[in-house]
Amino acid sequence: MKKSTLALALVLGLTQLAIAQEKEKPKQNPESSEIWEPVPRVVTPGELSPGTASGTTAPSDAIVLFDGKDGSKWVSVKGYSPDAWGGVTEGSNPWPVRDGAMFSAKGASLRTKQEFQDFQLHIEFRTPDKVEGNGQGRGNSGIFLQGRYELQVLDGYNNPTYSNGMVGSIYKQAIPLVNPSRKPGEWQTYDIIYFAPKFNKDGMMAEMGKVTVLLNGVLVLNNFNIKGTTEYIGYPKVQAHGKGPLLLQDHGNPVGFRNIWIREL
């Protein structure tokens, strides 16, 4: 009987305490959950450009890497792997520019003079309208994030190949969620959100790099963890690094690129 009385008293006491605390709370109103600061800075979005694959020009805080005329922000490199380019350039940009785009030239890949860490990248590409070859031999190029991690560029329209090497893949690491490829010769868009990997003082990876990719406005990679460098043979390697360039790969096919801009995050 005593135990029951004590338990009842305890419950009543806790109930009264809860009621008292509820009464002490200030009266709620819509404004109490509003946050006014910090105020996000204003960025002017790109202007609508009907008839283009992207539909917009670069936003006001973007770094324009290619505007359809000036390719001077790019230089040629000896190859498209970290060991090949090694930060050493061979010369100026040899890719021809025509009709507002620059086209890959055999024997010369490009890298940006400027290096980047975390970024949002917009880039448009076009594989040849004349279909030649198949699989990896058809409209092949690549966009190397920080010069190390390849986002595949390939003709993906009715062109079977291994899934982790098709357009929209992080080459031999990530299979795209879907294949929204346009026909050969049509302009296509990549919109990329990239966060670089983090390394310990001893060079070990503390946090993987992450990438989200939209191809032609369709999500193909969602916050994918990049395991390491892109390797044609073997498995990804972990190489500690800081900022790195963007690299456009020459793979022997005349792939065009235009409207390239980047926003540092």
Domains of the chain, residue spans = 2-32, 63-264
**CATH architecture of the domain covering 63-264:** Sandwich (2.60)
For residue 226, name the pLDDT band (cuts at 50, 70, 90).
very high
Residue 147 near residue 190 (C-beta atoms within 8 A): no
For residue 21, name the pLDDT band (cuts at 50, 70, 90).
low
Q: How many helices (H) and strands (E) does the chain have?
A: 2, 16
Whole-number percent of the chain with pLDDT over 70:
78
For residue 24, name the pLDDT band (cuts at 50, 70, 90).
low
Return the pLDDT at 260: 97
CA distances from 242 to 107, 114, 147, 203, 213 (A): 27, 13, 11, 11, 22
- Number of Cβ within 10 Å of residue 128's Cβ equals 17
Return the pLDDT at 53: 47
